[in-house]
Amino acid sequence: MHYSSRMASHRKEYLSIALIGIVLVTALLLVRSHAETLGTFIDANPFAGILLYILLNVVDAVIAPGATLPLIPVAARAWGHIAAALITTVGWTAGSLVAFLIARRWGAPLVRKITSMERLRRVKKHLPQDLFWSIVLLRLVMPMDVLSYVIGLFTNMTWAKYALATALGLTPSAFVLAYLGKLPHGFDIIAGGVVVVVVIAYIVVARRDHLRLPRAARHRAA
């Protein structure tokens, strides 16, 4: 029974990875096809454009990881890559703090409705003692917001330290993506990156499941 339940959980994880990939690629195609309209809106409404972009990045961090990545080329071309990177960092950091607040204030009952508790527990197992610099480093490779829920739920880290570590870790990624987004083939580069990340995630999960599969089950599968 336990084995059957674990396999069902793994299938849900594969489905989750596939859905994230589909959402990201769909969002990229939609943004790319409406890039000129979006750029015109931002030019005509600079203040509203910045607020809307930050708000979308907050929503991205809380419930839709990565969905706003396709907007980075539009932002970079509208504001320049430096301003776009700084605004993206503000949006990502604000979203991370909202996710942190949800976990710290309302705990597991609400968090499990937003993301996978099993995934959070796996990340928790790998949290080192020196949280501050570990978060900075993890944010370089994990801008999505599983980490905020983990820190909010399972640690006593203060709001201020988490905000600073998150901002420091997210800034380099924001600058790299904003620079790539301003290149002539920015959309294609980001799309390729999305595909690579989704494939790597699938391979990592598949490899982990194979290693955990009981030996008898592996022989039956063979």
Q: Which residue's entry shows tokens 């990939």?
A: 21
Residue pLDDT, tens place only, 80-128: 999 999 999 999 999 999 999 999 999 989 988 888 787 788 778 877 7
H helix intervals, 64-185? 71-79, 81-106, 108-114, 117-125, 131-141, 146-154, 159-182
The pair of three-digit structure tokens given for residue 75, joined into one six-digit string: 């932002």
Task: Quote the pLDDT of residue 87.
Answer: 95
165 CB-side CA count, 13 A: 21
Which whole-number Å values give the CA distances from 97 to 22, 162, 164, in the listed order? Answer: 26, 8, 10
**Inter-residue contact 187 to 32 (CB < 8 Å):** yes
Which whole-number Å values give the CA distances from 8 to 2, 11, 13, 17, 49, in the listed order? Answer: 10, 5, 9, 14, 42
Greater confidence, 208 or 60? Answer: 60
Domain ranges of the chain: 2-221
162 CB-side CA count, 13 A: 24
Q: Which residues of 5-19 are buried (b: 16+ CB within 10 A; e: fewer)?
A: eeeeebeebeeebee
Residue pLDDT, tens place only, 61-76: 888 777 788 889 999 9
